[in-house]
Chains A and B, each alone.
Chain A
Amino acid sequence: MSITDLTSMGEPQSEARKYINERLLKLQDEISDYCFQCAKCTSGCEAHKLLELEPHKIVALLKRGLIDEMVNSDIIWTCMSCFKCRERCPQKVAPVEILFALKNMAVASGKQIPGNYTQLLQSVLSTGLLQDIKTITTKDNKTLDRNQLNLPNISKPEDPMKFQTMLAKIAVEKL
């Protein structure tokens, strides 16, 4: 009849859970329901010791449909996508991919994106690359950039307008 999480008074969001599972099926050919909470992912998670990310808990909350609390959290942004969880899971669940889905949902819902992601995104939108050509300092204190190293011209989108139009279309498309 009804299931309520008494800590948050949240009820399972079956639509959102269905969406995420469908996305997982589309991209990785696997869903999250098979997780039996062995926590092998968390035991080996590169982000766990430092940042307390618990991939198995992410999967468990997804199974319960308690998605908003994850989308609104900071913890989902601690994953460093090392893919160890996906590699070693005995039930072929991939917490890392669930986290990508949750992060995408956070951005789409208008939440503030942490860190430099906005900057990186802006740069890709305007120049096609994550960052501009940087000047670096060598050990013997010389400063130089790409052009001074006899490297060929950098490869960038030739028609920035068309490139940006295409990206703009994606911004409103759901995966």
Chain B
Amino acid sequence: MNKKIGVFVCHCGINISSTVDVEQLTEFAKTLDNVVVSKNYKYMCSDNGAKLIKESIVKNKLDSVVIACCSPRMHEQTFRGVVESGKVNPFNLEIANIREQCSWAHSDKELATKKAKAIVKSAVAKAHLLEPLVKSKIKVTPNALVIGGGIAGIQASLDLAEKGLKVYLVEKSPSIGGRMAQLDKTFPTLDCSGCILTPKMMDVGNHPNIELMTYSELVSVDGSVGNYTVRIREKARFVDMVKCTGCLACVDACRLKGRIPSEFDMKMGKRGAIYVPFPQAIPLKGTIDSESCLMLTRGKCGTGPLCVEACEPGAIDFKQKDKEKEIKVGAIIIATGYDVLDPSSMYEYSYSNSKDVITSLEMERLINSSGPTVGEILRPSDSKKPKSVTYLLCVGSRDETECTWCCRIGCMSALKQMYLLKEKLGDEVELNICYTDIRSFGKGYEEFYRNIRGMNTNFFRGRPSEVRNAGEHLTIDIFDTTTNKLFEINTDLVVLVPALVPRYDSGELAHIMRLSQSSDGFYLEAHPKLRPMDTLTNGIFIAGCCQGPKDIQDTVSHASGAASRASVILSQEEMDIDPQIAIVDVDLCSGCKVCISICPYNAIESVEEEIDGKIVTHAQVNEALCMGCGSCVSACTSGALQHKGFKDKQILAMIAAVGDY
């Protein structure tokens, strides 16, 4: 049966036509077998282009369509829609990429046109062998999983919950709140961070649609978009969550109180083995650190554990074990946040060498009134008030030897802290800041910067080479490019504003979720401009700083965006499955199971079936799980497995067509 094939060549403005002779190419296509119509147009992806294709399909009663244009990643979906509107199966379409793989890669017009002809010939060869494919449907589980309980995770969870969707919010630490809970005030409005965060935290804690799983971590994720099966490990807190009233008596009583460096306080303060990370924690329940607790590590705590004594409701339970829970969700949002660079790697700044050189996050804990010094600014070495504080921006940022990127929040957070230091220490405190640029890009930021300049502060433009520990104080030599003079700053407290880096465990999570990371280690977005919350895996979204450093405002926008994207999936009862997946020809399958061991998505299983009176063992592809990667197809020794969108016979025909190029 002779198919009728139509070829449509796009100029793509001058992107293709300046290097490939599109007229010649169109004429050439007409000479190919069974090509009944061949046209070209300036912008095939436009309304007019679509109209041209649709009308041609109808007029010429086309069976298959070849569009010679840009990469299928750009418009394949759109063109499938156009083909479908012409009442042809949308999978009877083949895209010939003559832009990214031809006109954009070469400059010689003659050779590029020759190559384009070969590409189109090959596409037409495949078009002969295209088969109509039908999308099957799967039911979508209308639940969402949000990993990470910082402001990004909180915002995304609330957005989804408000839509009526069930949300599982998994947080690794004992309380939600994340980095924002560690801050004192936020720029540029100087809102109290806790005051604007805790209402949202409470909403999360109280929302009927949100199941909060704190002190929990992700174990495994199986399945694909619409149908994920996720295992979560709820770590043992050794405190009964139902009995515990959050009275904090145990925290006060703990034998190790004040002995263990507190992670929440960035190790500027100490906690006990049983603790609540901060007073507004949600859930407000005690947690026992199993690595420090004397009962758990040595089997005894003095004459008896003091927390048990102090706990009226008797909520302490040393026999608790980790629990694993399995949940089913339709979409996943990752909102795991960031870490700050440890400045010990830049030894010349004396972070390892002096107690009075701290990071800006450590300073934030000193400033915070529920921090280790109750909001008093005291030098860690002698607990005296500093008379002079110096900020060093870009420590490890914009640095080819550390982190090449800008941390985006360093400038503003330093300016904010300087304002608060003036408030706490009085106008006489000498505040110095050494900067390379001041990036005050957001709404209200420039005004804030202007205000700080007007507050009796010293701005030095330059990066110091080192910070010297001169015993009682610290000495910094800085060449100020604004005055072209070298200044020697003798200061009591140095605050390093460090680079923002991906979390220490981000690689682990990337491995479990099969996420891509960009070269800086942050999670890779599907498109930096147009799809910043999507990942390259359908159904998995990223929100907040795990995708890249950003301030709270951008984080909240990003998180709401991710929630919106996720809800597109979750609000459908059924989803189309892309039919371009693997399929088993039962007659050829020998049941060797090589494909099962190869499949990275556990999408193939071995089944027994009665065929023609005999019991046959063969492979079977689970359509909902198969991602169409093709690994099984290439591994299959008998050729039983084929990829519906790229069958062996189709590919071989394409190769043969290119053969005499």
| Interface status of B477 (Cβ within 8 A of chain A) | yes
Interface residues of B: mostly helix, strand, loop or mixed?
A: loop
Q: Which residues of A have CB within 8 Å of B399?
A: 90-91
Cβ contact within 8 Å between B479 and A48: yes
- Expressed in whole angstroms, the minimum distance between the Cβ of B214 and any Cβ of chain A is 39
Cα of A60 to Cα of B401 in the assembled complex, Å: 21
**Contact residue range for chain B?**
20 to 34
Q: Which residues of B have CB within 8 Å of A41?
A: 465
Contact of B479 among A34, A39, A92 (CB under 8 A): A39
Cα of A54 to Cα of B479 in the assembled complex, Å: 9
Q: Which of B348, B402, B479, B481 has the most CB of A within 10 A?
A: B479
Cβ contact within 8 Å between B477 and A43: yes
Contact of B478 among A43, A49, A88 (CB under 8 A): A43
| Interface status of B530 (Cβ within 8 A of chain A) | no
Cβ contact within 8 Å between B462 and A44: no
Cβ contact within 8 Å between A88 and B348: yes
| Interface status of B466 (Cβ within 8 A of chain A) | yes
How many A residues face the partner with a CB closer than 8 A? Answer: 20
Q: Which of A39, A42, A45 has the most CB of B within 10 A?
A: A39
Q: Which residues of A have CB within 8 Å of B461?
A: 39
| Residue in chain B with minimal CB distance to A42 | B479
| Interface status of A103 (Cβ within 8 A of chain B) | no
- Expressed in whole angstroms, the minimum distance between the Cβ of B486 and any Cβ of chain A is 6
Cβ contact within 8 Å between B486 and A42: yes
Taking CB atoms and an 8 Å cut-off, the chain B residues in 452-507 that contact chain A are 461-466, 477-481, 484, 486
Cβ contact within 8 Å between A43 and B462: yes
| Interface status of A38 (Cβ within 8 A of chain B) | yes
Cβ contact within 8 Å between A92 and B486: no
| Interface status of B436 (Cβ within 8 A of chain A) | yes
Cβ contact within 8 Å between B436 and A48: no
| Interface status of B400 (Cβ within 8 A of chain A) | yes
Cβ contact within 8 Å between B479 and A56: yes
Residues 122-157 of A, flagged 1 when their CB comes within 8 A of B and 0 if not, give 000000000000000000000000000000000000
Q: Which of A42, A43, A44, A84 has the most CB of B within 10 A?
A: A43
| Interface status of A36 (Cβ within 8 A of chain B) | yes
| Interface status of A37 (Cβ within 8 A of chain B) | yes
- Expressed in whole angstroms, the minimum distance between the Cβ of B381 and any Cβ of chain A is 24
Cα of A42 to Cα of B395 in the assembled complex, Å: 17
Q: Which residues of B have CB within 8 Å of A38?
A: 394, 436, 462-463
Q: Which residues of B have CB within 8 Å of A34?
A: 400
- Expressed in whole angstroms, the minimum distance between the Cβ of A104 and any Cβ of chain B is 26
Cα of A69 to Cα of B484 in the assembled complex, Å: 19
| Interface status of B398 (Cβ within 8 A of chain A) | yes
| Interface status of A26 (Cβ within 8 A of chain B) | no
| Residue in chain A with minimal CB distance to B480 | A39
Cβ contact within 8 Å between A36 and B477: no
Cβ contact within 8 Å between A43 and B401: no
- Expressed in whole angstroms, the minimum distance between the Cβ of A38 and any Cβ of chain B is 4
Supposing A48-B486, A88-B348 touch, asked if A40 and B481 sit within 8 A by C-beta, the answer is no
Cβ contact within 8 Å between B465 and A44: yes
Cβ contact within 8 Å between A37 and B481: yes
| Residue in chain A with minimal CB distance to B462 | A39
Cα of A36 to Cα of B436 in the assembled complex, Å: 8
Taking CB atoms and an 8 Å cut-off, the chain A residues in 33-85 that contact chain B are 34, 36-45, 48-49, 54, 56, 84
A39-B481, A43-B464, A45-B465 known; 6 other A-B pairs, CB under 8 Å? A36-B436, A39-B462, A42-B486, A48-B486, A90-B394, A91-B400
Enumerate chain A interface residues (CB-CB to B < 8 A): 34, 36-45, 48-49, 54, 56, 84, 88, 90-92
